[in-house]
Amino acid sequence: MTLGLLLTADRLVELGRIALLGLAALLFAQGVLPLGALLVAVGVGLYALVKTGIRGLVLERKLGIEVFVTVATAVAVSGGEFIAGAVLLDIILIAEFIADLNTDRARASIKALIGSVPRVALVRSGTGEHTVPVEQLRVGDVVLVRSGEKIPVDGTVVGGQAAVNEAAISGESLPLDKGVSTHVLAGTLVESGALDVRTDKRAADTLFARIVALVEGAEEQRAPVQKLADRVAAWLIPVVFTFLVGVYLYTGDLRLIVTLLIFTSPAELGLATPLVMIAAVARAARSGILVKGGLYLELLAKADVFIFDKTGTLTVGEPEVAAISVLGSTFREDAVLALAAAADRRSAHPLAQAVVRAAAARGLPVAQPSAFEAVHGRGVKARVDGKEILVGNAALLLENGVTEPTVWDVSGGTIVYVAVDGNAVGALELADRLRPGVRDLITRLKATGVNSVVMLTGDHDRVARRVATEAGIEDVRAGMLPADKVAAIEELRRRGHRVVMVGDGVNDAPALARADVGVAMGARGTQSAIEAADIALMTDDLSKIVLARALSKRAYRTVQENIFVGVGMVHVLGITAALLGWIGPIQAALLHLGPDVLVFLNSVKLLRVRLQA
């Protein structure tokens, strides 16, 4: 966002107030302006601070920097330090103006970081092409998007081909090929080619719009450390005023009290956290990670137990042929697989489709069956090249008079038998494949301080243990219903653990909601997944879990740096210098800029710092 856009009418008024007060102090110091005029300028300068301070006290019951500055100015003026009071007030107004401007720039950067959607779209209709505002697009409208343009809607391609960069949604920089019948998302960039896109959702309902709404609303979910800062500020205020009264009774020095008022204000504690969380949430969104608030960033940083669902999370969720067993010497492996694929090619069952894919991967010719019958809960019957083929479980074989053969010791998959003309000729083991990088993910999570990694699944114990062994997970709990998963999470939390649950966001919604932090994988375009989880990953890339953990830890550490270094150390040094008589009110006001600048610079570096994904 440019400076011109940030300088709203209210801010221009504030700039005028600052300039007026500064000019009045200068003219009074030169003897040109009478005292009454200076006091009027001071009153004008104080007006906005007093209004903000009173609003904070009444509505939020919070004593802010505005009250401290007002008291400091009043004390200076009442003690005859007119120039010091005016200059002090002007410098503080400048500091607050800069701080507010920088905070708004950080908030505005969120949309810029995760991309932007065009405000208008080129709509193709029977009367030609015409430009309309995106808000006026209706479901079914066909939008033309050319090379170098961003797609304005969530929709389906009905014409053209293009390479589309979806980094704004998923954080992945490699473009994807899009053609007829593929889906595209608002905010993504057409790098080459052109597309005709049929609008599937209104502008307010697109995935991009939901992402922006979630990220911009993330400030409302305040982290515990931010709440702690507010509580510290609340009890510190009476301590500060007691200290100041004691110093005045001992020294009788109003200038010293004015100086100390600048450095004893606890209100700046409130600046230490929000900007960090804004920057961290924006950085996460740019990487395809949606975080619903600073609360979940801090909980993720402190979590010591990670729980994973199996199917669709640790595994790809699609079965594949893991092994082939040949029974007898009539058929070879490829022949058994080709016959099974021919029988299965008309079936929509996931296991049948896995067999067909395996045959295609080997380049095997797959014949068309002349007859086909799907037997519910059993498998299929088919006639292929004059042969009667059975492909299914043991029950299918027994019901058709085929003796169940003895096969190898299955490591945890599902056995599908193949019979030809009443004789079993082979068996296929089908298993769900582990996602790439799972074992590395578990190792790296443990390296960040995770004490325990658990897998909860409704699958059979044998299958679950095979996947867990491959993944490097020792704690496996199989045969669990959704209620059992919730109970397991509650038990871990009762034992004092901070629990993160990672699932697909749909089937695992109760468990995601019960954990301290629920992480939904592959939530791109899935409303239920985004709603169920506290953190949603736009892709199925497991490394983003490690990135989110690294970002949360870095954000939490940055908050601590802001509080203990950016605010604490500067204020301690300032109070010490004031008590020793080394600085006065004007120098204190100038030094007051230090914490604001340090906090801002330390916070916004989260937008650019390199993190180990």
Q: DSSP string spanning 34-52?
A: -HHHHHHHHHHHHHHHHHH
Look at the chain and report how many structural domains it folds into: 4
Confidence band of 308 (pLDDT split at 50, 70, 90) = very high
Q: How far apart are CA 379 and CA 418, in angstroms?
A: 10
CATH number at residue 370: 3.40.1110.10
Kindly state the average pLDDT of the residues 587-608.
75
Say if residue 229's pLDDT is above 60: no
CA 536 to each of CA 526, 545, 603: distance values in angstroms, whole numbers, following the listed order: 10, 10, 23
Q: Report pLDDT digits (tens) over 409-449.
A: 555 677 899 999 999 999 998 888 888 889 999 999 999 98
Is 165 a member of any domain?
Answer: yes
Residue 244 falls inside a structural domain:
yes
Flag whether pLDDT at 506 surpasses 90. no
Task: Write down the pLDDT at residue 524.
Answer: 64
Claim to verify: residue 91 and residue 220 sit in the same structural domain? yes
Q: Are residues 106 and 228 in the same domain?
A: yes
pLDDT for 609 equals 73
- Asked if 526 and 539 touch (Cβ cutoff 8 Å), the reply is no
Q: Mean of the pLDDT values across residues 385-398?
A: 92
Kindly state whether residues 103 and 229 are assigned to the same domain: yes
Average pLDDT over residues 289-310: 89
pLDDT in tens, 524-552: 656 666 677 889 888 888 889 999 999 99
Using CA atoms in the order 506, 508, 514, 519, what is the torsion angle rounded to 10 degrees? -70
Same domain, 517 and 460: yes
- Verify that 27 and 97 share a domain, yes or no: yes
User: Is residue 13 located within the same domain as residue 83?
Assistant: yes
Q: Count CB neighbours of 418 within 10 A.
A: 28
Residues 468 and 598 both lie in one domain: no
Task: Report the pLDDT value the prediction gives residue 111, as an integer from 0 to 100.
Answer: 57
pLDDT value at residue 330: 82
Q: Is a pLDDT exceeding 60 seen at residue 225?
A: no
For the segment 156-185, the average pLDDT, to the nearest whole number, is: 85
- State the amino acid at position 397 in one-letter form: L
Q: 0.75 cut: is pTM over it?
A: no
**pLDDT of 505 higher than 70:** no
Contact 599, 279 (CB under 8 A): no
Indicate whether 305 and 335 sit together in one domain.
no
**Mean pLDDT on 100-105:** 66
Beta strands in 146-199 (DSSP E): 155-165, 176-178, 183-184, 189-199
Residues 6+ apart with CB under 8 A from 22: 90
Above pLDDT 90, what percent of the chain? Answer: 33
Q: Report the C-alpha gap between 359 and 338 in whole angstroms.
A: 6
Is 309 among the residues known to form the active site?
Answer: yes
Mean pLDDT, to the nearest integer, of 343-354? Answer: 90
In the numeric block, the tokens 């994904």 are attached to 613
Question: Cα–Cα distance between 130 and 144 in angstroms, integer?
Answer: 10
Mean pLDDT confidence for 308-331:
85
Residue 519 placed within a domain: yes
Q: Which residues contact 166 (CB under 8 A, 6 or more apart)?
A: 172, 175, 176, 185, 188
Residue 269: its pLDDT value, please? 60
pLDDT value, residue 358: 94
The answer to whether position 480 is within a domain reads yes
Active-site option among 309, 459, 504, 516 = 309
- How far, in Å, CA of 517 to CA of 512, rounded? 7
Q: Which range has the worst mean pLDDT, 31-40, 72-81, 132-141?
A: 72-81
Do 427 and 440 lie in one domain? The reply is no
- What mean pLDDT do residues 273-297 have? 81
211 assigned to some structural domain: no
pLDDT averaged over every residue in the chain:
83
Q: Rounded to an integer, what distance in angstroms lies between the CA atom of residue 460 and that of residue 414? A: 10
Most confident of 46-50, 67-71, 385-389: 385-389
Q: Give the pLDDT confidence score for residue 60 in this predicted structure.
A: 66
Residue 209 inside a domain? The answer is no
Residue 32, in any domain of the structure: yes
pLDDT at position 451? 93
d(CA 324, CA 607): 51
CATH of the domain at 143: 2.70.150.10
Distance separating alpha carbons of residues 267 and 52, to the nearest angstrom: 13
464 shares a domain with 333 = no
Is the pLDDT confidence value at 213 over 80?
no
The single residue listed with the structure tokens 């243990």 is 465
Q: Mark which of 527, 550, 573 sits at the end of a domain.
A: 550
Higher pLDDT, 261 or 547: 547
* pLDDT value for 75: 83
Residue 452 predicted with pLDDT over 90: yes
Is there a contact between 46 and 53 (Cβ–Cβ < 8 Å)?
Answer: no
Q: What is the DSSP letter of 151?
A: P
Nearest one of 54, 42, 50, 51 to 17, comparing CA atoms = 42
CB contact at 8 A, 606 and 561: no
Residue 145, pLDDT > 90, answer: yes
What is the C-alpha to C-alpha distance for residues 99 and 108, in angstroms, rounded to an integer? 14
Q: What pLDDT score was predicted for residue 67?
A: 74
What band does 288 get if pLDDT is binned at 50, 70 and 90? confident
pLDDT over 80 (residue 64): no
Rounded to an integer, the average pLDDT of 8-15 is: 82
For residue 178 the two structure tokens come to 């899009």
Expressed as residue numbers, the domain containing 321 is: 317-433
> 222-236, 313-327, 330-344, 451-465: lowest mean pLDDT where?
222-236
Residue 89 has pLDDT above 90, yes or no: no
- Shortest CA distance to 340 belongs to which of 329, 326, 328? 326
Question: pLDDT for 36-51, tens place per residue?
Answer: 999 999 999 888 888 8
**DSSP string covering 250-279, please?**
HH--HHHHHHHHHHS-GGGGGGTTHHHHHH
Q: Is residue 285 part of a domain?
A: no
Higher pLDDT: 406 or 438? It is: 438
If pLDDT is split at 50, 70 and 90, which confidence band does 218 have? low
Among residues 433, 460, 480, the one where a domain terminates is 433
DSSP-based three-state secondary structure for 408: coil
Note the pLDDT of residue 389: 96
Which of these three, 433, 459, 481, is where a domain ends? 433
What is the reported pLDDT for 277?
Answer: 80
Buried/exposed code over 501-540 (b: 16+ C-beta within 10 A; e: otherwise): bbbbbebbbbbbebbbbbbbbbbbbbeebbbbbbbbbbbb
Q: What is the pLDDT of residue 268?
A: 59
Answer whether residue 469 shows pLDDT above 80. yes
Q: HSE of 175 in the Cβ direction (CA atoms, 13 Å)?
A: 16
For the chain, what percent of residues have pLDDT higher than 70?
85
Q: In terms of domains, do 525 and 568 share one?
A: no
Asked if 54 and 168 sit in the same domain, the reply is no
Distance CA 509, CA 532 (A): 5
